[in-house]
A and B are shown apart, each in its own frame.
Chain A
């Protein structure tokens, strides 16, 4: 049997134990540092780079270009190159329109840059300058989508909180899960900010995916914790913290397996996407998902669980359970 299985055996019985709950300060410290780094780097870079879908931009249209008729792929590639050569980091989005036109959307340009780019495009496509038109475009991901999305998310959290509170019979798990969730989303978003990736609608969908994964993973871990702590009667020999710690330990093997299984496909996309396509939406999403999955799994164990113990540590019943710590069965839980 594999090493992981033996490791799992040890963790299950409590023979081996990783003291997760006890070292909460360490995990919080790590999380704080990572969050500060994510926020700090993002701030240093001047905040997030939003795509033209969010901010609007400039649009150029080359009409009656013979190249488009002959080879649309070459035409879009040419337009992309022209824009990249002229305007740095403008993230052009190029498509062919109709049978003989190319549409180029870029970040919003100054009038001078606009005229320059028009001329360059006309030259590259060998058409008169007046066949290259330009205009400003508005955001396709407008305020209305953002507003509805935020409303929807708030209602989403409200619903999920109610279900979780009813199911777990404590709101404290909801709070702990919520903190882990925020941690995951901030870290993943911070990755975009720190690396200067453009935030596109696809990236936002990626964040939402991470959000739902993180929540899912925390619920799975908490369900095991619930099982363990529910089995503890008042006469339990374990402290509450030890019970939680055992529960978390017992799910570690599953968490490792799950994150490996979830990360393998996204990591494959990340590598293959970067190798075959270079920078692009696919690579960005894959990176967000890969990091987000790992962080999502990690935070359920190292942030949500210790926080849950802390939140409950002041409850009289939990405290009482703690006083029986001296009971002669030290092998059954974590050392604290």
Chain B
């Protein structure tokens, strides 16, 4: 059988569909093999349970947490959880004090960190630094630097090895800070001056009061958390360690705060020569005020010598890096590098973007939690869904006869496609299926089937107008596709808007809606239409067999003797509007004529 163009096109569409399905299946197989994926979609909290994390606020003794702070913290934590995928976590407060986060599955440590750490970032000038006195600590291969002497070597070192960081901009390396770790610029001198003069700026060594000096001397980075010296008001100096516990610092008051950050992204740091290194960093963008503050700080620091040339980037009381200031930063876009991995850089960027928690939290307990709805709801939902689908198939067969078969086949392919898309998203995006999601999928059966119904009804309309079957299939498609396209484009746009703007459960809904709109379009154009094109060529359909669902006689088309209908109208669509209207009138006129011939019927009007 020589293939005609429409037939070739139809086959090509079906091949594309097959390619898409195979692609999806292999993508899933790949994630099963290499990425701990699985062959069933992951379920949400309501159906499967998960892990409940109780977070307790870390407060100074007398402080009380306000409702406002809690609400704000819940909002920020929700954004952080959402950033990890469409998980539909449940976040609530308990006893007006704790925050309870329930997330599906078992979170790893990095997820917990992402949720609970306050992510309060500030920039402070370094006043003094020393290696941590903790003897248990191996002062980290201090690489090229001189081995830092234990804390009692306050020799003010002015000659920084300029080779340590040859970047412009604020590139920080923990290495470079350990290099200079032994430098303790004359901070002891001011301590002696008993009448403590007021410090004039944030780098002023007068910040170091005897108490602070004592705290610093006694500081052992191993028990920093217990000592709590790393919690201090923003306008007071801070005594703390770096994140690895290798170097301890006295820092000036906070000069730029994390709240001035407008955006933060993670990426690979470029070296001074513009070559991308494989070191991860976080790129920060300040708002106007932050830019101004940051410029002032760096302008001041760049003129200072030794350790005071450095400023520390402090996250939740720990110095994540303390870069030297090579030049003033005027554009408000510093980058933070240090010992980041891709994950930790991404986490920090997310945390900075959504803002710091108003208070720090500590994980009080982590326990498994069972599903609130349980698997029985899901099971009966699925049983009911299957029964409903069978009913739909039965109805399709009654209504559309053999065409109903096309509906059934299309629905099945749609089901396969949806399953694998959801599976893929579940494996890749952390998508979780909740009961509401399942209900949404079942509703989408109706919407997908509607596309077929719209199309078939248009084809029937064309047959009623007296077209031949093949031509009706084409002409009906042109009209139906417009309708299907616009209605799905509207759904898709809506779902994208909702996904981007909403948080929590609404986001999950938007996700499902959007995915189903796309699947709907794919199925109807790559499956239903080509299949109909192909079957329209079979004798069964083209002769308008009564069981085909496309029987022109039953559809009241103009009938001109056995298997002869009005000659198919050429399917040129350019002047469609007027010719169509002309056809319709002609058709009605013809039908009137035919009715008159029948003579039996009386026109009521």
B376 on the interface (CB 8 Å rule)? yes
B464 touches A13 (CB 8 A): yes
**Taking CB as reference atom, which chain B residue is nearest A232?**
B581
A330 touches B490 (CB 8 A): no
A331 touches B384 (CB 8 A): no
Mark interface residues in A79-102 (1 if CB within 8 Å of B CB, else 0): 000000000000001111111010
Q: Chain A's nearest CB lies how many Å from the CB of B385?
A: 6
A223 touches B487 (CB 8 A): yes
Indicate whether A163 sits within 8 Å of B367 (C-beta atoms), given known contacts A202-B435, A277-B376: no
B454 on the interface (CB 8 Å rule)? yes
Mark interface residues in B51-67 (1 if CB within 8 Å of A CB, else 0): 01000000000000000
We find that the number of chain A residues with CB closer than 8 angstroms to chain B is 102
Indicate whether A155 sits within 8 Å of B501 (C-beta atoms), given known contacts A254-B457, A273-B381: yes
**Cβ–Cβ < 8 Å partners of A276 in chain B:** 376, 380
Interface stretch (choices B201-209, B270-278, B335-343, B388-396): B388-396
Q: Which residues of chain B in 352-389 are interfacial with respect to chain A, using CB atoms and an 8 Å cutoff?
A: 367-373, 376-377, 380-381, 383-385, 387-389
**Cβ–Cβ < 8 Å partners of A142 in chain B:** 71, 74-75, 91-92
**Cβ–Cβ < 8 Å partners of B447 in chain A:** 213, 216, 262
**Taking CB as reference atom, which chain A residue is nearest B367?**
A98
A202 touches B434 (CB 8 A): yes
A286 touches B453 (CB 8 A): no
A264 on the interface (CB 8 Å rule)? yes
Mark interface residues in A120-153 (1 if CB within 8 Å of B CB, else 0): 0000000000000001111111111100110111
B555 on the interface (CB 8 Å rule)? yes
Give Cα A208 to B506, complex, Å.
Answer: 8
Give Cα A10 to B70, complex, Å.
Answer: 64
B127 on the interface (CB 8 Å rule)? no
Q: Which residues of chain B in 318-351 are interfacial with respect to chain A, using CB atoms and an 8 Å cutoff?
A: none
A97 touches B367 (CB 8 A): yes
Give Cα A8 to B440, complex, Å.
Answer: 30
B154 on the interface (CB 8 Å rule)? no
B370 touches A1 (CB 8 A): no
A9 touches B370 (CB 8 A): no
Interface of A, secondary structure class, is helix
A332 on the interface (CB 8 Å rule)? yes
Q: Which of A4, A144, A262 contacts B443 (CB 8 A)?
A: A262
Interface stretch (choices B179-187, B236-244, B261-269, B491-499): B491-499
**Cβ–Cβ < 8 Å partners of B96 in chain A:** 136, 138
Q: Which of A93, A261, A282 contacts B380 (CB 8 A)?
A: A282
B373 touches A280 (CB 8 A): yes
Give Cα A101 to B510, complex, Å.
Answer: 35
Give Cα A232 to B580, complex, Å.
Answer: 11
B380 touches A138 (CB 8 A): no
B554 on the interface (CB 8 Å rule)? yes
Indicate whether A137 sits within 8 Å of B94 (C-beta atoms), given known contacts A144-B75, A262-B446, A265-B385: yes
A95 touches B372 (CB 8 A): yes
A215 touches B443 (CB 8 A): no
Q: Which of B387, B443, B494, B556 contacts A289 (CB 8 A)?
A: B443
Indicate whether A212 sits within 8 Å of B494 (C-beta atoms), given known contacts A167-B486, A205-B436, A254-B457: yes
**Cβ–Cβ < 8 Å partners of B494 in chain A:** 156, 159-160, 212, 215
Give Cα A219 to B482, complex, Å.
Answer: 11
Q: Chain A's nearest CB lies how many Å from the CB of B535?
A: 18
Mark interface residues in A2-33 (1 if CB within 8 Å of B CB, else 0): 10111011101110000000000000000000
A201 on the interface (CB 8 Å rule)? yes
A223 touches B486 (CB 8 A): yes
Given contacts A136-B96, A205-B508, A273-B381, 4 further A-B contacts (CB under 8 A): A95-B369, A205-B437, A262-B449, A265-B389
Of the A-B pairs whose beta carbons lie under 8 Å apart in the complex, a sample of 29, sorted by A's number, is A10-B556, A12-B460, A13-B556, A95-B369, A96-B369, A135-B95, A137-B93, A139-B92, A144-B71, A144-B78, A145-B78, A145-B503, A152-B506, A156-B498, A159-B493, A202-B435, A202-B439, A204-B506, A206-B439, A209-B439, A212-B495, A231-B580, A264-B391, A266-B446, A268-B387, A276-B376, A282-B435, A330-B605, A331-B605
The residues of A with any CB-CB pair to B shorter than 8 Å are 1-2, 4-6, 8-10, 12-14, 53, 56, 59, 72, 76, 93-99, 101, 103, 135-145, 148-149, 151-153, 155-156, 159-160, 163-164, 167, 201-202, 204-206, 208-209, 212-213, 215-217, 219-220, 223-224, 227, 230-233, 250-251, 253-254, 257-273, 276-277, 280-282, 285-286, 289, 293, 330-332
